[in-house]
Amino acid sequence: MAVARDYPYGNAQFLVDIPSLPQAQAFDEVLLPDLLVEVEEVREGNEKVPTSRKFPGLTKTSSLILRRGFSGRLELYQWWKMVSDGTPGFRQTITVSLLNEQRESVAAWKFNGAFPVNYSFSPLNGLDGSPLIETLEVCCDSVTME
């Protein structure tokens, strides 16, 4: 599905789809996770040189971060609460789609088995007057790109 072109896409147009939370789609900022492969080092017992060989180990994914202005909607908190209470069915497949200038999807990241691990707010500051920002940190089992 990824659409290649000669110049880079902008990062300001995107959609976030959380199937069980259709009202929680409008996010102002998305921090995509790092996809990592651990390195395992092994030293053979009969090698004369004290050095190790490197092999790919487990794959790891950092957290997906979703941010939006708080408007009084509680869907993100309720999803986090499901996880903290141990309610079944809290895992979701989240899709983040990058859009082109015509608002057509040109790439997508799918986060399988995703669930929230941290729910937080920006500081309350009577001197600043900035919008209150809610942040949801989501971990997942795997990430695929299309």
Instruction: Examine residue 67 and state whether it is found in any structural domain, yes or no.
Output: yes
Residue range of the domain that includes 64: 14-122+130-145
Structural domain count of the chain? 1
Other Cβ atoms within 10 Å of 25 Cβ, number: 12
pTM greater than 0.95 (yes/no): no
Please give the average per-residue pLDDT across 94-100, as a whole number: 95
Whole-Å CA distances, 112 to 90, 142, 143? 12, 5, 6
- CATH no. for residue 60? 2.30.110.20
Which stretches within the chain are classed as H helix?
75-85
Task: Please report, rounded to a whole number, the percentage of residues in the chain having pLDDT higher than 90.
Answer: 78
Residue 6 lies inside a defined structural domain of this protein: no
In tens, the pLDDT along 7-44 reads 999 999 999 999 888 776 789 999 999 999 999 998 87
Q: H or E stretch including 17?
A: strand 14-17
Please state, rounded to an integer, the average pLDDT across all residues of the chain. Answer: 92
Residue 93: pLDDT above 90? Answer: yes
Give Cα 37 to chain centroid, integer Å: 17
